[in-house]
Amino acid sequence: MKAFGPGCGCGGRIVRWLIAALAFACALPAHAEPRRIVSLDYCADQFVLALADRDQIAALSRGSLRDDSYFRERARGIRQTRGTLEEVLALRPDLVIRNWGGPWDAAEAYGRFDVPVLQVGGTPNFPAARANLIEAAQVLGHPGRGQALARDLDTRLARLALHQRRSPVMYLSGGGAVAGRGTMMDAVITAAGGRNLRTEESWAVLPLEQLVETPPALIALGFFGSSRDRLNAWSPSQHPALQRALSRTRTVALPPATISCEAWYAVDAAELIARALGP
């Protein structure tokens, strides 16, 4: 399950994404857009639902209708798959798209059956997310849609850049994780005009003492009160000291669908944080 979770450094992730994109470009036959697309996880579903025609989609993942699926309303009525190799192959796909779903060696596994695999998502910042979006749109046969979404992203980021307050902001998930440098959530905070309170790289468990002693100007909350949060009854986020600190600090709740996957539409979360920071 992807939720802006712990990951490696920004540089390594971009290099791996570029390698995957090049490998896919070499594997994809030179013909018209795919007609039987199968998506293996709900993060990949969002690219398909945003960019492909409905009649191009053979199946989406079983997570496509979850409350943290950004385009879940578009997924209604479309066939779902569990993402097993056997079930997917039975759908006769001409393109498999994934972020984290299916076998870890999906490109090799499906390559044995001459089915190309497009790797999407997992981007650590908005420039990488923008490039990922445009590449996916080209592969799905609708480059104009990708360009239109990219232009909208550019416009919204430029608007946010007019108000760089640099106020200290912390992102806190319902599971007790905080985001550091090299994560998409760090990019979201920066785009919103904030300054991420956590300067270390990647993700870490909430430093409760630091938060209680030096609370930030704003805490962006993710997945509090969601089904994920209820499954983490022993999370640091349930600690009484944290609950008291939250009651004394400005907070903004980010809709799960905007931050469950690392993709271009995380700009929604940046705009919410910017509004919470004020003029």
Verify that 102 and 228 share a domain, yes or no: no
Q: Which residues are bridge partners to 167 per DSSP?
A: 194
**Is 229 domain-assigned?**
yes
Domain that holds residue 29: 10-156
In 3-state terms, the chain is what percent helix, strand and coil (to 5)?
A: 45, 15, 40
Verify that 226 and 92 share a domain, yes or no: no
**Is 279 domain-assigned?**
no
The pair of structure tokens assigned to 160 is: 């946010």
Phi-psi region of 183 (alpha: psi -120 to 50; beta: other; left: phi over 0): beta
Number of domains in the chain: 2
Report the CATH number that the domain containing residue 25 is assigned in CATH: 3.40.50.1980
pTM: 0.83
pLDDT values of the chain reduced to their tens digit, one per residue, 279 residues: 455 654 444 555 555 555 555 555 554 444 478 999 999 999 999 999 999 999 999 999 999 999 999 999 999 999 999 999 999 999 999 999 999 999 999 999 999 999 999 999 889 999 999 999 999 999 999 999 999 999 999 999 999 999 878 889 999 888 778 888 999 999 999 999 999 988 888 888 776 666 667 678 899 998 876 555 454 555 556 666 666 766 677 899 999 999 999 999 999 999 999 999 987
Structure-token match 């470009």, residue found: 25
Verify that 73 and 136 share a domain, yes or no: yes
